[in-house]
Amino acid sequence: MTTSPTIYDEVRNGMLPAHIYNDAEIFERERRNLFSRAWLFVGHESEIPQPGDYVVRKVLDDSFIVVRDEKGEIRAHFNMCLHRGMQVCRAEMGNASHFRCPYHGWSYRNDGRIVGLPFHQEAYGGEEGFSRKGARLLPAPNLDTYNGLIFISMDPDAPSLPDYLGDFAFFLDFYTKQSAAGIELRGPQRWRVNANWKIGAENFAGDMYHTPQTHTSVVEIGLFREPKAEKRKDGNTYWAGNGGGTTYKLPPGTLEERLRYVGYPDDMIERMKQTWSQEQLDVIGDNGFMISAASVFPNMSLVHNWPKVEDGDDVLPFISLRTWVPISECETEVYSWFAVAADAPEEFKELSYKAYLMCFGSTGMFEQDDVENWVSLTNTAKGAMARRLLLNSRMGMLKDGSPVVEPLGDDEWAGPGVAHVGYGEYNQRHLLERWADYVEADAPEPQRPIGLGGVRLTPSAAAAAAAGDCATGDSCDAGTAAGDGSVDTEGVTA
């Protein structure tokens, strides 16, 4: 008896059931099996530089307060009061030593510890009724950073962030570590598009093939120095670890000449030489490839490009980070940040920001071109006919599975992973193969609910709370609420 292939088998074969881009059942599996387990980018340390600085970010339907506490530690608190579930913080960003729920006034320090319950004695009988020891806002199950990038995972048993990123960390440094000072972010801009979240992630991961068609007008108006969009085929696509991206092929020259070609001033070039490894420098200086767009599975993307921003032939590079936050199977919220080396010259920063706004962000020319395609794809994937169609995503692969073009050898590619010159859908296939592995496999059952205040607290949760609240020697009972309902509200925000 022959078993029919599943949609996940088809995806792994490079043939995509068209309805995966607009299907409520698949989206529910993504929510349950993918976004509950993967590492997800939620912000950058430069957005919360001072104690008390915070931003509020969402992971699908879950809201988190990402904050730097009074001791400088970065935390991510689930934005729900322990009492009746009201959002504790409703401002998108700010600075606060405490957060106070606007519903009944329960208050929390910015490290998450509860500091006050109005009428604690009268309403609860004091500590006998509600013990504040160990009570705190629910922390994200996992949090870690890389080059200042803040990631969380909803899975307490997720692999470490370095293991998850794998060799793609080598390429993240090009975007986020151009000097020892790291980067600073501006933004995010935020908007919604009526498109499935996977389309943007795939596009940034490796779709050089669309550039000559979709973005012809950008070249025709002279925004770029290169005369034809077809030059994209001279670059390569690479996949390493849990991410992949694209490059441009640079003209002959030294490392310094090639970095100047894309618009970097000499002082920034010197800092790059002092910061990047020899292999990272060789990707540009010896191999002649400059990184461009990329994606980290599942929904973080990056872009690096160098348009003209003033009259003349000079170009200036910009870097942007973004996430594709799913709202539904047919709607995505885009968060888009401008990124720049923290110690770059001020004039460079301003011109680079101008370059970013021209190309990407909510009004960027590339953005407008891309979104029109993505919305059309999503709409078309909704109907009955889409369930009869397998989209061919086997570009760069012969019928027997062998590559049209052999991957670059060690003498041609100094970076990790596998790289191919020319057009191909290698990276889209890698990304969707990972998607299939996550979505097909049911996630473990969620942990038993955690109840705080001395009621229904699992041993493992109690140990975690104690470690998080008392490891420094501070009292877990710090903070009081007087019987008249007053609390210490210095710096409190709603």
pLDDT of 484 higher than 80: no
pLDDT of 220 higher than 70: no
388 band by pLDDT with thresholds 50, 70 and 90: very high
pLDDT of 486 higher than 60: no
**17-21, 85-89, 126-130, 183-187: which has the minimum mean pLDDT?**
126-130
Number of Cβ atoms within 10 Å of the Cβ of 354? 16
Question: Are 318 and 355 a contacting pair, CB within 8 Å?
Answer: yes
pLDDT recorded at residue 313 = 79
What residues does 78 pair with on adjacent strands?
64
Peptide bond into 298 cis (omega under 30): yes
Q: Helix 365-380 vs helix 346-359: angle between axes, to the nearest 10 degrees?
A: 30
Backbone angles phi, psi at 357, to 5 degrees: -65, -35
Number of Cβ atoms within 10 Å of the Cβ of 464? 17
Distance, CA of 27 to CA of 11 (rounded, Å):
16
* Tokens describing residue 116: 């006050």
480 band by pLDDT with thresholds 50, 70 and 90: very low
pLDDT of 459 higher than 90: no
Q: Helix 197-206 vs helix 426-440: angle between axes, to the nearest 10 degrees?
A: 140
What residues does 420 pair with on adjacent strands?
237
Q: Out of 13-17, 204-208, 464-468, give the one with best mean pLDDT.
A: 13-17
pLDDT recorded at residue 393 = 94
Longest Cα separation, the chain: 78
453 band by pLDDT with thresholds 50, 70 and 90: low
Q: Which residue has the higher pLDDT, 488 or 118?
A: 118
Mean pLDDT, the chain, rounded, equals 88
- In the block, tokens 């062998």 appear at 402
User: Per residue, what are the HEC states of the chain?
Assistant: CCCCCCHHHHHHCCEEEHHHHCCHHHHHHHHHHHCCCCEEEEEEHHHCCCCCEEEEEEECCEEEEEEECCCCCEEEEECCCCCCCCCCCCCCEEECCEEECCCCCCEEECCCEEEECCCHHHHHCHHHCCCCCCCECCECCEEEEECCEEEEECCCCCCCHHHHHHHHHHHHHHHHCCCCCCEEEEEEEEEEECCCHHHHHHHHHHCCCCHHHHCHHHHHCCCCCCCCHHHHHHCEEEEECCEEEEEEECCCCCHHHHHHHCCCCHHHHHHHHHHCCHHHHHHHHCCCEEEEEEEECCCEEEEEECCCCCCCCCCCCEEEEEEEEEEECCEEEEEEEEEEECCCCHHHHHHHHHHHHHHCCCCCHHHHHHHHHHHHHHHHCCCCHHHHCEEECCCCECCCCCECCCCCCCCCCCCCCEEEECCCCHHHHHHHHHHHHHHHCCCCCCCCCCCCCCCCCCHHHHHHHHHHHHCCCCCCCCCCECCCCCECCCCEEC
pLDDT of 402 higher than 80: yes
pLDDT recorded at residue 156 = 93
Q: How big is the chain, counted in residues?
A: 494
Sheet containing strand 62-68, edge to edge, reads 74-78, 62-68, 53-59, 93-95
- In the block, tokens 């013990």 appear at 131
pLDDT recorded at residue 5 = 85
**pLDDT tens, position by position, 47-98:** 999 999 999 999 999 999 999 999 999 999 999 999 999 999 999 999 999 9
pLDDT of 489 higher than 50: no
Which residues lie below 8 Å from residue 9, measured CB to CB, with a gap of 6+? none
230 band by pLDDT with thresholds 50, 70 and 90: low
pLDDT of 492 higher than 50: no
What average pLDDT does the segment 485-489 reach?
35
What average pLDDT does the segment 412-426 reach?
96
pLDDT recorded at residue 97 = 96
